[in-house]
Amino acid sequence: MKQYVVDAFAGRVFEGNPAAVIVAERWPEERLMFQIASENSLPETAFAVPEGDGWRLRWFAPGDEEVDLCGHATLAAACVIDRFIRPGGNSIRFETRSGTLTVERRGELYEMDFPAYTLKMLEVTDQIADALGVRPREVWRARDLLCVFDRAEDVIGMKPDMEKLKGLKGALMQVTAPGTGEFDCVSRTFGPKCAIPEDPVCGSGHCHIIPYWAARTGRTEFVARQASSRGGTLYCRLDGDRVKLAGKAVLYAQSELMVEDML
């Protein structure tokens, strides 16, 4: 079984968010997919199997969790299919637990079409401020919590308490602030509930972040920077109830998994 590791939302290796990608003719046993994801110990491992003229895509995080939506592993899977499995096409369609996701190749970028989350405003509580170490100006919730700050420095320098974050609502903690220079907004993503203290670049998190900034600014296009230690850049566009997320992808490794006798 061949596996690819791709750095997504990255212009070079060791940047962006790494994802493992396995493209198979049929589904491995479910327990094996969980075991491979745990063995990889990457933020996500994606499995793609042909379905009609497209693909069925599933994402697994370490810690025995199948994920409903993952941007960077979708981008990584599209890159692998485009380069190694079915080269020459400009569009790749994935059927997923979050519906149909389409990826278009636009030069060096892969642009994904994701659903936009509808945000509900919550109270800024002492519990949230204590967990983050900085009090946000606003708190919103959809799948994840989204905490908004006035200064990029608050997001970049944040050192949250991971154990306290586990006690908050939402699957992940997204934090964002206005950007500086070429970037319209900055963000970071924390996921201790998913065994990921910090997600280097979170595509699905921007399905929260971009609708928020679009509503606040009246704009629809943003260059977003994920301010993790690896860093990553996303080119984002709100299109009705969809978020277009584009980024580069770089192949880091190819390997052969010695699990054929377990299929």
Q: How far apart are CA 184 and CA 196, in angstroms?
A: 26
Q: How far apart are CA 162 and CA 150, in angstroms?
A: 22
- C-beta of residue 178 within 8 angstroms of C-beta of residue 152: yes
Q: How far apart are CA 82 and CA 91, in angstroms?
A: 9
End-to-end CA distance of the chain: give it in Å, rounded.
10
In one-letter notation, the amino acid at residue 171 is: A
Q: How far apart are CA 192 and CA 190, in angstroms?
A: 6
| From 15, 44, 65, 111, active-site residue | 44
Nearest in space to 26 (alpha carbons), one of 60, 61, 55: 55
Torsion, Cα 91 95 100 106, to 10 degrees, reads -20
Query: Is 44 among the catalytic positions?
Result: yes
Residue 18: how many other CB atoms lie within 10 Å: 25
Coil vs helix vs strand at 150 = coil
The tokens describing 231, both together, are 């860093």
Q: How far apart are CA 112 and CA 83, in angstroms?
A: 17
Residue numbers annotated as active site: 44
